[in-house]
Amino acid sequence: MTSFGKIWFVGAGPGDPELITVKGQKLLSQAGAVLFAGSLVDRAVTLYAPPGCAIRDSKDMTLEEMTAWLIEQARTNATVVRLQTGDPGLYGALIELARPLTAEGIEWSVVPGVSSAMASMAAAGESMTLPEVTQTVILTRVEGRTPMPDGEDLASLAAHRTTICIFLSITLMHKVETALRGAGWAEDSPMLVVHKASWPGEQKIVRGTLADIKQRCREAGIASQAMIVASPTLGALHWETLARSKLYDPTFTHRFRKASA
């Protein structure tokens, strides 16, 4: 019976090589082979791989070719890494790649990564949630070549008026605007677009409103790899008043602290 090494699906994070997890970096340093998403993952991340490691860019490969490469490398290497952008379980082909590995009896595991949604809000100094404003975050995309399941169109989701992080949709900004307007968002609703969040020397942050964000993105030359955020929390740093978190309120008692006022 043929023995195989283990395949690790590692989230490389949003772009900055230092935002990969310690565990992900450790696995890369031990890897005999790395298959990375070259169209999205900064190649600098592969610098963590040891000398002699087989490194392959997957941007020109089909799913079948990627699977075959991973299986072949697992025949001769104890540790094989599939390096994916952000987190492997979010808009990645994790399950599509893992199914044939499971069928072959090859062991695999996932190392989570920092999503570009979190990196975008961090870059802009914004919070996804605020007390009495919104406690919900929706991660979604606009329908393109990949159809959306029933009930998940952006207009339906936007009706909740929560923080919405919209992936893979910068070229479909007109659809984003139409959906938000259809859900009743005002023209002066704040919007945020971050291009290549955390990528050293390449990150761009654009702020605007529903009325002008598309034009602002065009002026900034943003046409790919961007996160779109619509949220009632945007700009809260400069609000005159803000509801306090009960966790840190001196009038609030919890199991670690008694109320002091």
pLDDT tens-digit series, residues 191-230: 999 999 999 999 999 999 999 999 999 999 999 999 999 9
Look up the pTM and report it: 0.91
Domains of the chain: 6-111 (3.40.1010.10), 116-234 (3.30.950.10)
Residues sharing a CB contact under 8 Å with residue 87, sequence separation 6 or more, in sequence order: 11, 112, 113, 114, 115
Percent of the chain clearing pLDDT 70 (strictly above): 95
Q: State residue 249's pLDDT score.
A: 67
Angle of CA points 82, 84, 89, to nearest 5°: 105
Cα within 13 Å of Cα(83), Cβ side: 39
Residues sharing a CB contact under 8 Å with residue 230, sequence separation 6 or more, in sequence order: 158, 163, 164, 166, 176, 180, 185, 189, 190, 191, 192, 210
pLDDT tens-digit series, residues 165-183: 999 999 999 999 999 999 9
CB 118 within 8 A of CB 17: no
